[in-house]
Structures are given as C-alpha cells and as structure tokens.
Amino acid sequence: MNIFKKLGTDTQGKLIIAGPCSAESEEQVFETAAQLAGLGVDVFRAGIWKPRTKPGCFEGVGNIGLTWLKKAGRAFKKPVAVEAASPEHIEKCLDREIDIIWIGARTTVSPFAVQNIADALQGTNISVLVKNPINPDLNLWIGAIERLKKAGIKNIGAIHRGFSSYYKSRYRYNPVWKIPIELRRIAPDLPIICDPSHICGNREMIFSVSQKAFDLLFDGLMIEAHVNPEKALSDADQQLVPEELGHILKKLRYKSSSTEKIKTELSVLREHIDEIDCRLISTLGRRSEISKQIGELKIKEGIAPFQPDRWNKMIKERIQYAKKYNLADDFTRILFENIHEESIRCQSN
C-alpha cells in the first residue's frame, strides 16, 4: 500500500497519523481508534514492541497487539502503522497485513539493524517510514533510507522526531530543524512527517511544533493520542486525548498566502536578509583572522588553544546579551558553540 500517493484529504494534503504510544488492551486500542476516526486522522498507529531505555519498564504487549490494531483499522476503514525493529517484527507485521511500518530512532542509528530490516522487507510493497537517528547525523538517516531503496522498497517516507542533546532545553528531543530542511533539499520528493509528541515530550507545545512543521512544508504529522493519557503505561505526558488532538488539527494553518502582493513584499525583505547574511559572513571572516593571531600568540607562549574559563565566561555573556534582541538561549548557545569550534580550529592550525 502506498499511503503517500494520496496524502490526507481532510487536512489539505497533510497526512495525519495518530494513536497511542503503546497498545495496552484491546478495549483501549478500539476506543482510541473510535474517537480518532472522525477527526481527520488518516492512519491509526500504536506501539506494539517498545524499546525502553531501562529494563523493567513496560515494553509492549507484543504480537497480540497487532491483532487488536488491525481489527480497529478494519472497523473504521483506516490503514494502521506499527514500529518494527527486527526481521522477526517484520514477519509478524506482514502476517497480520499491517499497512505501514516505521523504523524507530534507536534502530535507525544502527546500519546493521536497518540492513536486516531491509532484507526482511525485500519483495514487499509495504509503506515504510524512517525516523531520524537519535543523534543528529543526517548521513545515518539518509543511509537508512538508501538501504530500503536498494532492497526494492518504493513507498518510503521520513519522520522527524528530534535529537538527543547533552544540554537541557525546553524540548524533550531538540528539533534541530536545519537537518530535516537539508534532507528536503537533498531528497525533494521524499515525504517528511513530523513527530511533535517526541520533540515536545509534553502536551502543551504540540500545537506550536506542529505549526512550525507545516510552516516548513512538512507533509504530515504523527501524534500520540490516548483515551486516558494520565493512566498510559508509556510516555503519558506527551499524549493527547483525541478531542484535544481534534482541536489542534482545526487550529493548524495548512496553507500560506501566495498573492502577488505578498510575493513582492517577501522579495524585498529577502533582499535585506541576503545583505545582512553577507555582512555576517564578512564579520565572521574578520573574527577568524583575529582568532589566528590569538593562536600564534598562544603557540609562542605555549598556551593551549582551548581555555575553559574563557569559554564559560564568554558563552554566559553572549547568551545574556542576545536576550536584548529576543534571541532564544538555545539558538545563541548553538551558534557560539559552532563559532568557538571554528575559532579553535583556526588557532590549532
């Protein structure tokens, strides 16, 4: 089944995938599907096998959940989607006629695991979605997609679910939007779905992240919904009740204006952006030259290029100063981490 050939019809071409983080009981699966059926949801999803960080947590109901899920899909005439992490999972999904599988972030990170899944899928026409690896590595993401293509899988899409980070932010998984944007540049025909549930880690931010994804021309959303999120056995904080999901889908803006007036105004503003960008590059070039001079002095005096005290002081001051211009702390930190890395490179050379 090629779910991407005709994207969601109720949401202006956007594909909406929704359902609980985990299938917990037949009643929970069926009731959630019943409440989602009339909300513009195109595909019903549920986790069957759950790869938890630590043992002892709820790790899914296993194979029986596939039967519950498929039964609910047939009852409400919706295709169903499941995460699969091994050839054994693939075999069970094919036996139960699951419509879509997705490869999770913890699996995408392993080329061995992805290749095993690609081999198990060879000769099938099932649709496959590939989540980004848990670390911000675009090549790993692209590599997983290429392995599936080489196995003859034609119906492939990507899911952006954010990335792990070593510093705290307001997100559970940092979106790092530039990575899916680059993926779109490299593979313009590849459908890209956003998973705001994992990016946010909470219900409060799901609307804003979903809107951001549509503003960036993502092709759809995968959102976790549960009839009773407070009692969910996994990821309770990020799951919505179906009614709340319905409100979000109605509030989202799916299209932007393309009138000639707007195009003209955008053109003028973009010329200003281009001019500012050129000045930024010129300024960074001058900064790089000064870094080289500092490097020469350090070499002469036997001083290491990296000075932790200077770096800690500088990053705190830059973040504080950036607040005056309403720049987000995360943005400023990442910007100066990259600038500092380039400075160290210049000094080392």
Examine the domain organization and report whether 238 and 273 are in the same domain: no
Torsion angle (degrees, nearest 10) of CA 294, 298, 299, 303: -150
Examine the domain organization and report whether 36 and 181 are in the same domain: yes
Classify residue 118: in a domain, yes or no.
yes
Examine the domain organization and report whether 67 and 171 are in the same domain: yes
C-alpha to C-alpha distance for 347 and 345, rounded to whole angstroms: 5
- Answer yes or no: are the C-beta atoms of 31 and 227 closer than 8 Å: yes
Classify residue 70: in a domain, yes or no.
yes
Examine the domain organization and report whether 101 and 204 are in the same domain: yes
Residue 34 structural domain? 15-251
Give, for all 349 residues of the chain, the pLDDT tens digit. Answer: 566 665 554 556 799 999 999 999 999 999 999 999 999 899 999 999 987 777 878 888 999 999 999 999 999 999 999 999 999 999 999 999 999 999 999 999 999 999 999 999 999 999 999 999 999 999 999 999 999 999 999 999 999 999 998 877 889 999 999 999 999 999 999 999 999 999 999 999 999 999 999 999 999 999 999 999 999 999 999 999 999 999 999 999 876 555 666 777 788 888 889 999 999 999 999 999 999 999 899 888 888 888 999 999 999 999 999 999 999 999 999 999 999 999 988 888 7
Choose the final residue of a domain: 234, 251, 268.
Answer: 251
Examine the domain organization and report whether 25 and 55 are in the same domain: yes
Examine the domain organization and report whether 36 and 161 are in the same domain: yes
Examine the domain organization and report whether 244 and 297 are in the same domain: no
Examine the domain organization and report whether 149 and 237 are in the same domain: yes
pLDDT for res 30: 97
Examine the domain organization and report whether 57 and 203 are in the same domain: yes
The CATH number of the domain where 282 resides is what? 1.20.59.10
Residue 279, SS3 per DSSP: helix
Classify residue 104: in a domain, yes or no.
yes
The CATH number of the domain where 178 resides is what? 3.20.20.70
Classify residue 228: in a domain, yes or no.
yes
Nearest to 4 by CA among 128, 188, 151, 162: 128
Nearest to 72 by CA among 127, 31, 15, 20: 31
Classify residue 201: in a domain, yes or no.
yes
In eight-state DSSP terms, residue 238 is G
Angle between helices 138-150 and 178-186 (to 10 degrees): 40
Choose the final residue of a domain: 251, 278, 296.
Answer: 251
**Single-letter residue type at 240:** L
pLDDT for res 9: 47
Examine the domain organization and report whether 80 and 208 are in the same domain: yes
Classify residue 2: in a domain, yes or no.
no
Tell me how many degrees the CA angle 259-264-267 measures, rounded to the nearest 5: 125
Q: How many domains, in total, are found in the chain?
A: 2
**Single-letter residue type at 129:** L
Choose the final residue of a domain: 227, 251, 275.
Answer: 251
Examine the domain organization and report whether 245 and 104 are in the same domain: yes
Classify residue 10: in a domain, yes or no.
no
C-alpha to C-alpha distance for 319 and 261, rounded to whole angstroms: 37
Examine the domain organization and report whether 174 and 277 are in the same domain: no
Classify residue 45: in a domain, yes or no.
yes
Three-state SS letters, 47-79: ECCCCCCCCCCCCCCCCHHHHHHHHHHHHCCCC
